[in-house]
Amino acid sequence: MPEVGAAYARVRALLPPLWRALPWRVLGAAGGSATALPALARLVSGGHDTAFALILLRSAEVALALGLAFLLDDPARHITVAVPTRRVLRNGLRLALVVPLVLLCWTVALLLVPGEIRPPAGDVGLEAAALAALALTGAAAAVRFTDEPQPGAVVAATLLAVTVLETLLPERCTLFVDVADPGWAAAHQRWAVLLLLTVPMGAALLPERIRRRRALAWTHR
Amino acid sequence: MSTVIDKAPTVFAPVETGRRPAAAVLALARFEARELLVQIPVFFFLLVYVGTTAWKLFSPREDMNNYPILHDVDRATQPGTLLLAVAAFICVNVAALRSRRHGTDRHFDVLVLEPWRRTVAHALSVVPLAAVTALGAAIEFGWAALKPGAVGHGSVAELATGPLVVLLSGVLGVLIARLCPRLAGGPLVVVVGFATLMVVSSVVGQTHWLTWLHPVVSETSNNPIPSDLLGRPAAWHALYLVGLSAVLLCVAALVSGGRTRLLKAITVVALGAMVTGIAGQSPGDDAALITARTKASSTPAAFQSCVAHGRSTYCSFPEWTGWRDDWEKVVDRIQDLAGGGAGGAPLTIRQRIPVVHQLEGDAAIEPLHTPGEVTAGTRWGGNRVPEFAVGVASVLVAGDEQAVSKMCDARVVTVMWLAMAAQDDPMTAFRHVRLDDSLSGSAVALAPTNPVGMSAEQTRIVRALLGRPLYGVTARVKAHWTELTSPRTSEARVAELLGVPAAKNGTGAGESCQK
């Protein structure tokens, strides 16, 4: 099967430069702060409660999402747009490279919170996944609909603004609830809905826009 | 072939244009401010800020808004501005990094405006946003102050805190942009800063001077106290915020390469202002203030003026004199409904505050021993009116406030009917004055001091009475006043006297006082 072999070879050739071109500074800063914040819960002595741990874990998940907002930044975008390898493949590979690291970061962050005050891991993980998906969808949308090579800063700012606004939502449709709150389960259904909505949207936004090129061709004629 | 230059080449003297860097900085600041205000996050957060402010002003449910306490209203303008502060931080940060993002940094090197002046201009671009915040706070406060029921004194320093926080966060955004330009991580700084602040505040607890290092210290309580007992170092705090903003701005300018003598001098002055502000706000409540608070709580009469209206005397703290007429209306209506000696009994309405240890949190007011003396709180409007009515009616029936807590008999029916029948909408007031907002079953009815416990049967009787025409019930109450206000009368007898049919399954006797 030559196609499969060729595709495999292409991916193998693509991996090292992609790995080098990842926005390591921002990702490192985000991952570092995401693991350092829950570590504070362990360092700081004194009987803290689950609400305290929840605040730290939520800060960690927002920090991770803010880092992921920069993932699709490509300073060489105007050059790579001409290469035969499609953007889906390039950005998909970026995701594949980073997602395990993010998962590792999140697991470490979760384990750093002392067990007795740790909020339900699955539910908090769901929040983190939804926020990460939101950030990546935002980045994909920015890449697709603008010509900006590095839209990450704007996406991150928007994501933070959205997060702050989320805390202002009225009680019956809020997302950030306390563990002791009776609306915890309902809020996490909303988180799941958010995740289920953003993932297909993000996937749909990954490929390059074709009509745009036609329009460009029209104008350049 | 040689060329002889017989005269020296003429060199034109440099044109003296007269450099006016301040004008250039202001022009850039104006441009950046315009750019800032059309940013989507800033615009959106402004919209939310205006919306929440308008909602607070026009909210139909909060009747207490008609009786604002101005030295609490000024403080309440602060938390809303935090939203704008976050937006200012993010957008100024993004704007300060715009040239780097677009790779135009080196083009600026050929311009005469130095990078540090550019930094200052970016920081100054927040000023219009802070002005909008100031306008919002002023409108919010002015709206409250113009209400006829407004009492108390506002403080300019408290009102200035909101705009100053917006200014501070904008300057912080510029500083972060200059300190870590590569990272493009302004939002990350917000999240990490927020979490660190949470951790630090949970570690250090409620230390006074550390608490006041926070930009916004909003100590809210449901029991306002006179403004001279507040003891909030608001003016020092405003000075601290101004000094801190100036210091951060100077640091940002120094980081960008500014080295002029004026800049260094301003840095020193700003540092001095900040330190003075911190020093001024750091000491906690002094002994004299604590003594004054205790005295105002235990012996309020020494601080108050009294006025006699009709049958009763109304005593209030100097700032609350405007509410005496409202109290009088309620007291008069209740006394008109009461029979026997209670109808003409002289009451003393005494405004009181709970024991204040710290401004935050709520404390209960201890009931009074003196016969015929009724407690009035420091809030009015909405649910506070029927609560005060319950207090007045229970003193009329039981004699004094201490006796009310031991009132576990059918007198509760008379008390609640008197209090509710004097309201404009008795049934709604009855529902809201009960802690669980119900109209059936046993519940606790709120009063300025100790609440009144109601059994299910008493609730049923009062509800039946409130559904009837007022004149009929009033006549029965006046006719049987002595028996109705006797602790020995049973619930069944009270129902019979007032003409309410007995319950089908005679239950509920005495359950109101079960603990």
Contact predicate B251/B119, CB 8 Å:
no
What average pLDDT does the segment B379-404 reach?
88
Asked whether residue B240 falls in the same domain as residue B338, the answer is no
pTM for the structure as a whole: 0.85
pLDDT of residue A101: 94
Asked whether residue B373 falls in the same domain as residue B263, the answer is no
- Name which residue leads in pLDDT, A38 or B32: B32
> Degrees (nearest 5) of the Cα angle A201, A123, A132?
35
Residue B42 pLDDT grade (very low, low, confident, very high; cuts 50, 70, 90):
confident
B positions 24-63 inside 8 Å of A (CB): 40-41, 44-45, 48, 52
In sign, the C-alpha dihedral spanning A17, A20, A24, A27 is: positive
- Choose among B367, B365, B351: nearest CA to B316: B351
pLDDT of residue B510: 46
What is the spatial distance between Cα B479 and Cα B468, in angstroms, rounded to a whole number? 17
Mutate to test the interface with A, among B192, B198, B201 (most CBs of A within 10 A): B192
Query: Residues B164-175: pLDDT tens digits?
Result: 999 999 999 999
> Is some CB atom of chain A closer than 8 A to the CB atom of B199?
yes
Contact predicate A120/A41, CB 8 Å:
no
Asked whether residue B346 falls in the same domain as residue B404, the answer is yes
**A173-187, B199-213, B271-285, B356-370: which has the highest mean pLDDT?**
B271-285
> Is some CB atom of chain A closer than 8 A to the CB atom of B372?
no
Task: Give the residue numbers spanning the domain of B262.
Answer: 20-284
Domain membership flag for residue B479: yes
Contact predicate B187/A156, CB 8 Å:
yes
Element housing B315 (H / E): strand B312-316
Asked whether residue B330 falls in the same domain as residue B433, the answer is yes
Residue that has been written with the tokens 């909020």 in this structure: A119
Query: Residues B46-77: pLDDT tens digits?
Result: 898 888 888 877 776 556 778 889 998 898 88
Residue A1: pLDDT over 60: no
Look up the ipTM and state it.
Answer: 0.81
- Choose among B439, B462, B378, B283: nearest CA to B67: B378
pLDDT of residue B6: 72
Domain membership flag for residue B53: yes
Q: Is A137 exposed, middle or buried (0-12, 13-18, 19+ CB in 10 A)?
A: buried
Structural domains counted in chain B? 2
Structural domains counted in chain A? 1
Contact check, Cβ <8 Å, B192/A56: no
Asked whether residue B189 falls in the same domain as residue B273, the answer is yes
Instruction: Name the CA dihedral angle for B257, B263, B264, B269, rounded to a multiple of 10 degrees.
Output: -140
Domain membership flag for residue B360: yes
Contact check, Cβ <8 Å, B94/A153: yes
Residue B506: pLDDT over 60: no
Domain membership flag for residue B237: yes
- For every residue of B30-56, DSSP letters joined together read HHHHHHHHTSHHHHHHHHHHHHHHHHH
- Tell me the shortest Cα–Cα distance from B51 to chain A, in angstroms: 12
Asked whether residue B121 falls in the same domain as residue B249, the answer is yes
What average pLDDT does the segment A173-199 reach?
90
Domain membership flag for residue B515: no
Contact predicate B74/B141, CB 8 Å:
yes
Q: Which of A182-186, B5-9, B124-128, B197-201 has the lowest mean pLDDT?
A: B5-9
What is the spatial distance between Cα B102 and Cα B97, in angstroms, rounded to a whole number? 9
What average pLDDT does the segment A54-79 reach?
91
Residue B489 pLDDT grade (very low, low, confident, very high; cuts 50, 70, 90):
confident
Mutate to test the interface with A, among B35, B59, B199, B201 (most CBs of A within 10 A): B199
Q: Which of A77-86, B145-154, B459-468 has the lowest mean pLDDT?
A: A77-86
Residue A213 pLDDT grade (very low, low, confident, very high; cuts 50, 70, 90):
low
Pick from A26, A161, A168: CB nearest B183 = A26
- Tell me the shortest Cα–Cα distance from B124 to chain A, in angstroms: 21
What is the spatial distance between Cα A42 and Cα A107, in angstroms, rounded to a whole number? 15
- Which residues of A touch chain B, with CB atoms under 8 Å apart? 25-26, 29-30, 33, 37, 40-41, 44, 46, 48, 52, 55-56, 59-60, 62-63, 66-67, 70, 150, 152-154, 156-161, 164-165, 168
Query: Residues with Cβ < 8 Å from B67, sequence gap 6 or more?
Result: B147, B149, B150, B151, B323, B379, B380, B381
Pick from A40, A66, A160: CB nearest B199 = A40
Residue A220: pLDDT over 50: no
The residue from B257, B284, B311 where one domain ends is B284
Query: Residues B77-102: pLDDT tens digits?
Result: 898 888 889 889 988 998 998 888 78
Task: Give the residue numbers spanning the domain of A120.
Answer: 2-219
Asked whether residue B75 falls in the same domain as residue B222, the answer is yes
Residue A217: pLDDT over 50: no
What average pLDDT does the segment B389-400 reach?
90
Residue A132 pLDDT grade (very low, low, confident, very high; cuts 50, 70, 90):
very high
